[in-house]
Chain A
Amino acid sequence: MPASDQQPWTILLAEDNPGDVFLVRRALDKHHINYELRLARNGEDALAMVQQADRGEFRLDLMLVDLNLPRYDGGEIVAAARAGGRLAKVPIILLTSSDSPHDRQRLTELGANLYFRKPSDLNGFMKVGELVIAVMNSAAENSCRE
């Protein structure tokens, strides 16, 4: 977890459901994560942001992408991020409400790091915060090693 004096993590959240946006913010806050959220309400916006980040217009530390987005789905967003050079190693967590093994396999192939099935209870949902910390720590370790 970044100390408060450190630069906050820039997190791209692609999610059309405002209820889920609220729950994600709550989970991140609950885990005392210092973050700056860039929110995309649909696939189109998410794609545009990915492209901006890829061009270096802003820094991106983590992507939380809902699978079921309007216009472009989560898979396409992941593919776009992995296609560019700058975002090739940015951790991506996919959020989904379904539990299809087929989807899971496809998105892992596209390059998502984790797969979070939105649970039907509050405490379960809050675990997404732990996931974010775990992924970021792992990414930091990897970059240190490199």
Chain B
Amino acid sequence: MLHRRWLRYLRPGHFLLPISLCLVFLAGFLNFRNDRDLKQSAAELGRLNGLLSANAAVLSALTDLETGQRGYLLTGEPAYLEPYQQASGRLPRLLEKLRVEMVQPRQQERYSQLENVIADRRAEMSATILMRGLAGTDAALTIVKTESGRNSMDAIRRLSGEINQQTQETLAANANTLLRRQNGAAFTSLGITCSLFLLLSLAAAMIQRGVRRRDDLIGLLDNSRQQLHTTLSSIGDGVVVTDAEGRITFINPVAARISGWDSKTVTGRKADEVLPLLREDTREPIDHPVLQVLRDKKPSGIAPSTVLIRQDGTEIPVDDSAAIIPVSDGSGRAGPSIFGVVMVIRDITGQRMAENSVRQWEQVFDDAGFGIAMLSLDGVPSFQEVNPAFARMHGYTRDEVRGTPMSALVMPAALPEKMKSLYEAGASGRVVIETVHRRRDGSTFPVIADVTVVRDAAGNAIYGTAYYSDITERRKAEDELRSNEARFRTLADSLPHLVWTTLPDGSPDYFNVRWQNSDNDGALTDSKRGWHDFLHPDDRDSCLHSWNDALQKGTVFQTECRLRQQGEDRWHICRAVPVRDNDGKIVRWFGSCTDIHDNRQVADALRVSKDDLQRSNLDLEQFAFAASHDMQEPLRMVVVYSQLLKEEFASSLGEAGVAYLNFAVEGALRVESLILDLLAYSRASAPADEQAEGVLVGGTVSTAIENLNLQITQTQATVEVGELPVLNVPKLPIVIVFQNLISNAIKYRQPGVVPFITISADPRPGEWVFSVKDNGIGIDPQYHDQIFRVFRRLHGAEYPGTGIGLALCQRLIERHGGKIWIESGDTGSTFCFTLPAR
């Protein structure tokens, strides 16, 4: 197989590139070499040309030397020496240049010869010039005539000519070589260019063909992909494809629907993060199939009872599995590396619901509190299957009951005909009866049986089911109810009231005997008239209105109305309360009507007399107030004008006359004080209009003492005041009470004894007791209950007074919720009164 694989690479296209590369490389190499040769030839040519010019320059310099020398020798003019000297200075430089150019050994040899002869020639010339200068022309000519100079010069010319010639020859040879090489290089370049053109054309053709083939393949691939996409999209299961990193590259619509994700948002995200899976029972994350496959490099199993957490956080039960997508080598075989993972998710909600439903029904069957049985109706009717409750009810186990004939558990006598007929062939339908079953121990119990039998057209039983309820408790409750009802009726009949009950809508369903007895013409049993007929016409509307209102709102009904009893309309208080069941729904109204006719008459009479009394009291007070007020005026006149009379006419009246006038004034003043006291007394019963708030009782005592200052000073009386509380009572009445009591204590003092008065207060539950104790003459206990009456006085003119003070005190104290009394000790008297605390 190996060579086949390699053969795949041995295509024409594969040769083109190496061949082209070789050619390009060859052309490059040739060009490089050519270029190098050309550069070398050009350098050689340059050198040769330099050699030629250097040679010529040397020769020229020598000619200049010779010209200068000859001129000088002939003329002796030093001016001719100038070119000589110039050339002489130039010559070594030129020679050096020439030497450098002459690199070949043969040339170097020739140069050495030239250098020598030039040195000779120069020595000869400098010698002649020296001689000419020293010894004149002749001496110089002598040297010239030796011909050595000419010989030297000839040698120089010969050598220079040889150098020139050789150089010219070398130049010609080089030029030939260069031309040949250039031709060769041109041919080579042309050949290579042609080859490359051919190869490029070939390559272009092949690329063209390759592109066409690739386009075909892409089309094919697109089709496949389209097919795959359509397949995956239309597949009933959710498909999720990831790359080798576990990132989602594709999610089909079913998977999108199951997971709640949108394929656009989910692409590129990690599958295990976007599609988290939990174990349904433990609620722990499972080893995600995608990760499992990426790790283990083999398909994952199906995890049991998995739930997927959807995008919106809800859960959905799924089956899931994942498989590898291997990297393909074109042969369809899985390679060692993973291209990605495909995960399949199946929504198993429906399946799970069905399972749950079955389980629930099984649970219902097992846990039901009533007996359920499936009946076998082929042949002798028997119990095919029963639930635990049924077995328990009869004292058996389920296994024991299975297959038992029905007659073993059902008392035959208790089975009515219609039930028996249901078990006969061909019968179909449902029967509900109360019957009696027998337990294992032989005891029996009442049962409600609800049996359904369904048969097909041919009369074959499709199924028979029954449920059974033990109604022992219900029977007991019913019995109890009956006994309660009897008790209630007895009680209701024995009551001296009208007792009745109604249904929730208000229609009466019970009246007690008392009511029935008063029903002379059968109104109660007449649905049109009913109990309404007993109502007094004037009360009917208001009574029915409040009854209907109570019925509607479910509130207690209570009203007072006249009901006709034994031919008389008598006032009754009627009351009814709703009785509700556990759900709060009204199941009945219990009502009663109590005869309050006599009570009401008494109350009415009382109310009338109370009103009369109040009115009369008010009239009396107003009368007292007005009378006392108007009586003051004339009294004032009497007093004032008596005084005027006394003042202006005392002398005319005489002593007796003045005394008479004094009596008149005194009398009038007494009447005035009586009137003032009466006025105070009448005001004391008027409604309290003073604000009652925290009053220091001690303060009221102080005020009273101040008001009595004159009396106290005159009698040198001592008033000792103890600790007194703060109370919520109006101030003024308390001042008046203390003022009266202290005043009395001083007024009724023992002759010759300085009055000593003690005022104290003691708390009692809910009230305070105040006492005013004196050391006076005291009061005989037989008068204790008289002294608080108006105008009641125990003494004559020796103790002046109106007899109103204590009555006023009593009235004020009682008006403020207290009471007043007198206690007598060994000496003096103690007046006590109470006031409510707070």
Residue contact A97 to B633, C-beta cutoff 8 Å: yes
Residue contact B643 to A121, C-beta cutoff 8 Å: yes
Residue contact A120 to B635, C-beta cutoff 8 Å: yes
Smallest CB gap from A119: residue in B: B636
Smallest CB gap from B643: residue in A: A122
Residue contact B640 to A17, C-beta cutoff 8 Å: no
Chain B residues whose C-beta falls within 8 Å of the C-beta of A122 in the assembled complex: 640, 643-644, 647
Q: Is the interface of B mostly helix, strand, loop or mixed?
A: helix
Chain B residues whose C-beta falls within 8 Å of the C-beta of A119 in the assembled complex: 636
- Whether A1 is near chain B, meaning CB under 8 Å from some CB there, is no
Residue contact A17 to B644, C-beta cutoff 8 Å: no
From known contacts A17-B633, A97-B632, A98-B629, infer whether A120 and B641 are also in contact, taking CB-CB under 8 Å: no
- Whether B637 is near chain A, meaning CB under 8 Å from some CB there, is yes
Chain B residues whose C-beta falls within 8 Å of the C-beta of A17 in the assembled complex: 633, 637
- Whether B639 is near chain A, meaning CB under 8 Å from some CB there, is yes
From known contacts A19-B637, A97-B632, infer whether A120 and B672 are also in contact, taking CB-CB under 8 Å: yes
Residue contact B647 to A120, C-beta cutoff 8 Å: no
Residue contact A125 to B632, C-beta cutoff 8 Å: no
CA distance A119 to B639 in the complex (A): 10
CA distance A118 to B629 in the complex (A): 13
Q: How far is the CB of B749 from chain A (nearest CB, A)?
A: 28
Residue contact B629 to A120, C-beta cutoff 8 Å: no
Against B, the Cβ 8 Å flags (1 = close, 0 = not) of A120-137 are 111101000000000000
Smallest CB gap from A122: residue in B: B643
Residue contact B640 to A23, C-beta cutoff 8 Å: yes
Q: How far is the CB of A108 from chain B (nearest CB, A)?
A: 19
- Whether B807 is near chain A, meaning CB under 8 Å from some CB there, is no
- Whether B669 is near chain A, meaning CB under 8 Å from some CB there, is yes
Residue contact B644 to A120, C-beta cutoff 8 Å: no
Smallest CB gap from B673: residue in A: A120
From known contacts A120-B669, A120-B672, infer whether A97 and B644 are also in contact, taking CB-CB under 8 Å: no
From known contacts A120-B669, A120-B672, infer whether A125 and B640 are also in contact, taking CB-CB under 8 Å: yes
Q: How far is the CB of A74 from chain B (nearest CB, A)?
A: 15
Which of B640, B669, B672 interacts with A19 by CB under 8 Å?
B640
Chain A residues whose C-beta falls within 8 Å of the C-beta of B632 in the assembled complex: 97-98, 120
Residue contact A121 to B637, C-beta cutoff 8 Å: no
Q: How far is the CB of A67 from chain B (nearest CB, A)?
A: 12
Smallest CB gap from B637: residue in A: A19
Smallest CB gap from A26: residue in B: B644
Q: How far is the CB of B687 from chain A (nearest CB, A)?
A: 14
Residue contact A121 to B629, C-beta cutoff 8 Å: no
CA distance A17 to B633 in the complex (A): 10
Q: How far is the CB of A8 from chain B (nearest CB, A)?
A: 25
Q: How far is the CB of A88 from chain B (nearest CB, A)?
A: 32
Smallest CB gap from B646: residue in A: A122
Chain A residues whose C-beta falls within 8 Å of the C-beta of B629 in the assembled complex: 97-98
B residues 607-647 with Cβ under 8 Å of A?
629, 632-633, 635-637, 639-641, 643-644, 647
Chain B residues whose C-beta falls within 8 Å of the C-beta of A19 in the assembled complex: 637, 640-641
CA distance A24 to B643 in the complex (A): 15
Chain A residues whose C-beta falls within 8 Å of the C-beta of B668 in the assembled complex: 120
CA distance A125 to B669 in the complex (A): 15
Question: Which residue among B632, B636, B644 has the maximum number of chain A CB atoms within 10 Å of its CB?
Answer: B636
CA distance A119 to B632 in the complex (A): 10
Smallest CB gap from B629: residue in A: A98
Chain B residues whose C-beta falls within 8 Å of the C-beta of A120 in the assembled complex: 632, 635-636, 639-640, 668-669, 672
28 cross-chain CB contacts under 8 A: A17-B633, A17-B637, A19-B640, A19-B641, A23-B640, A97-B629, A97-B632, A97-B633, A97-B636, A98-B629, A98-B632, A118-B636, A119-B636, A120-B632, A120-B635, A120-B636, A120-B640, A120-B669, A120-B672, A121-B639, A121-B640, A121-B643, A122-B640, A122-B643, A122-B644, A122-B647, A123-B643, A125-B640
